[in-house]
Amino acid sequence: MATDPDYPGASSFTDRNGATRWRFRHGGRTASLRGQPGDPEFEAGYWAARTGQAMPERVTAFPQRHAPRTMADAWARWKKTESWKTASPLTREKNESLARRLLVTPIAPGAALTWGDAPMADLKRRHIKSILADNAETPHKAKHMLVAIRKMIAVALDEEWIEHDPSARIRWRPAYGGWRAWTAAELSGFAARWPVGTTPRLVFELSLWLGNRRSDLAALKWSDRITRTLHRQGQPPRIVRGFEIVQHKTGKALFVPEAPPLTAALDAAREKAPEGLSEIVVTAYGKPFSEKSLTGRMADWTRSAGLEKGCTIHGLRKTLGKRLAEGGASTRQLMTILGHDTIAHAELYSRDADSVRLAVDAMDKVVAIFGDG
């Protein structure tokens, strides 16, 4: 039996067929892990086991042929609509995975009939509430499940299979406070624990100075790091190094200039990178991190630095937005760097920064007039 220092609690063994297999053991719990260290499937399973979550499912695709006017039929028709075809690849991927899980689920424990077999005309409010209740332990999954069901209902209404929307006025809003920006003490505490040249510091600097989501971070390649020549009237040309990023979630193309702290981390990583390696952020096995494993790793790294829970990769994205706003960046500049689609989203940062500046300016004026009592 062998253990791996990069995956605490995981150990390998040789099965009766001579194949190397892995399992996770901790606190009396044992979970079998699929694949090998560094594989996306292994990473997802390991972090699910570490955090006590259900192991990732292997979803079986529902048959392409299905009975007419069923939920499976409605979903297949939805995938032919313009709304589906114009959605981002990430949105389609997530919605498809969620819908498949629902459509292959039995309508009751032990039942042969699945939700995919169920006629849309037989779908009632109590059924929808039951599906949501079954997913109550993962509230955001339940929320998106309701969205998927409403897509099927929209098809059924358009095709006149049903006359009324059984999901009308059903609300499912999980409690959610959002990711928070890191404090100055947390930023300095992490940097003190993980020096330049370590993988945790590289992930930290990339997250903080590029301000992109974990999906974009995991896919980042050395070839995305480029130089551009900036021409300004009356000034000599300026060579600017940065990253060209096409956001996985939105498909939006961005250029983010490279800040000096990020340059130092990247240069140190480049010196250690094996020849021919294309991805920037890799495991000890030289394989790219998955999105979920990056989240799990950051939780380990922040814990090792003595930081409280809530210091996340997305929180570093928020930290950059906060810094940009406090530095006087315009809403348009915030949208350009962070890749926001709407002005309203970017203005959340500007509004917070403006409120602080307005409060300080107002108090300075009051103190100047009445400060002596």
- Segment 226-258, tens digit of pLDDT: 999 888 888 898 898 999 988 877 778 888 899
User: Is residue 169 classed exposed, middle or buried when 0-12, 13-18 and 19+ CB atoms within 10 A define those classes?
Assistant: exposed
Question: Is pLDDT above 80 for 47?
Answer: no
Q: What is the pLDDT of residue 6?
A: 67
If you average pLDDT over residues 357-363, what whole number do you get? 71
Q: What is the pLDDT of residue 184?
A: 93
103-117, 224-238, 326-340: the lowest-pLDDT one: 326-340
- Among 314, 341, 358, residue at a domain's last position: 314
Q: Does 189 share its domain with 284? A: yes
Q: Does 106 share its domain with 198? A: no
Residue 117 within any structural domain of the chain:
yes
Q: Does 99 share its domain with 21? A: no
149-158, 190-199, 363-372: the lowest-pLDDT one: 363-372
Residue 337 within any structural domain of the chain:
no
Residues 252 and 216: their CA atoms lie apart, in Å, by 11
Residue 58 within any structural domain of the chain:
no
Phi, psi angle pair for 313, to nearest 5° = -65, -45
Q: Does 194 share its domain with 286? A: yes
Q: Which long-range contacts does 306-309 make (Cβ < 8 Å, 24+ apart)? A: 306/189, 306/193, 307/186, 307/189, 307/190, 308/186
63-77, 171-185, 244-258, 308-322: the lowest-pLDDT one: 171-185
Q: What is the pLDDT of residue 328?
A: 80
- The helix or strand, by DSSP H or E, that contains position 137, with its residue range, turns out to be none
Question: Is pLDDT above 70 for 78?
Answer: yes
Residue appearing with tokens 């049903």: 162
Q: Does 91 share its domain with 209? A: no
Residue appearing with tokens 């992930």: 203
Residue 362 within any structural domain of the chain:
no
Q: Does 139 share its domain with 190? A: no
- Portion of the chain with pLDDT greater than 70, in percent: 86
* Range ranked top by mean pLDDT from 221-225, 246-250, 292-296: 221-225
Question: Is pLDDT above 60 for 111?
Answer: yes
More confidently predicted of 209 and 2: 209
Query: Is residue 31 within 8 Å of residue 38, measured between CB atoms?
Result: no
128-142, 157-171, 254-268, 338-352: the lowest-pLDDT one: 338-352
Q: Does 144 share its domain with 266? A: no
More confidently predicted of 340 and 199: 199
Reading the block at residue 224, the tokens are 């995305």
Q: What is the pLDDT of residue 247?
A: 83
Residue 282 within any structural domain of the chain:
yes
DSSP reduced 3-state for 288: strand
**DSSP string of 321-346?**
HHHHHHTT--HHHHHHHH--S-HHHH
Question: Is pLDDT above 60 for 55?
Answer: no
Residues 226 and 223: their CA atoms lie apart, in Å, by 7
Q: Does 245 share its domain with 274? A: yes
Q: Does 190 share its domain with 302? A: yes
Q: How confident is the model at residue 59 (pLDDT cuts 50, 70, 90)?
A: very low
Question: How remote is the C-alpha of 282 from its chain's centroid?
Answer: 18
Handedness of CA 340, 343, 349, 350 (dihedral sign): positive
Reading the block at residue 301, the tokens are 């790294």
Answer whether 0.75 is exceeded by the pTM: no
DSSP reduced 3-state for 275: coil
- Among 287, 314, 341, residue at a domain's last position: 314
Give pLDDT tens digits for 194-208. Answer: 999 999 999 999 999
85-99, 118-132, 146-160, 219-233: the lowest-pLDDT one: 85-99
Residues 329 and 319: their CA atoms lie apart, in Å, by 14
Q: How confident is the model at residue 193 (pLDDT cuts 50, 70, 90)?
A: very high
Q: How confident is the model at residue 125 (pLDDT cuts 50, 70, 90)?
A: very high
Of all residues in the chain, what percent are helix, strand and coil, respectively (each to 5)? 50, 15, 40
Q: Does 188 share its domain with 309? A: yes
CATH number of the domain bearing residue 193: 1.10.443.10
Q: Does 115 share its domain with 40? A: no
Residue 11 within any structural domain of the chain:
yes
Query: Is residue 48 within 8 Å of residue 40, measured between CB atoms?
Result: no
Residue 334 within any structural domain of the chain:
no
Containing structural domain, residue 33: 2-50
Residues 143 and 137: their CA atoms lie apart, in Å, by 11
Residue 136 within any structural domain of the chain:
yes
Residues 282 and 289: their CA atoms lie apart, in Å, by 6
Total structural domains in the chain? 3
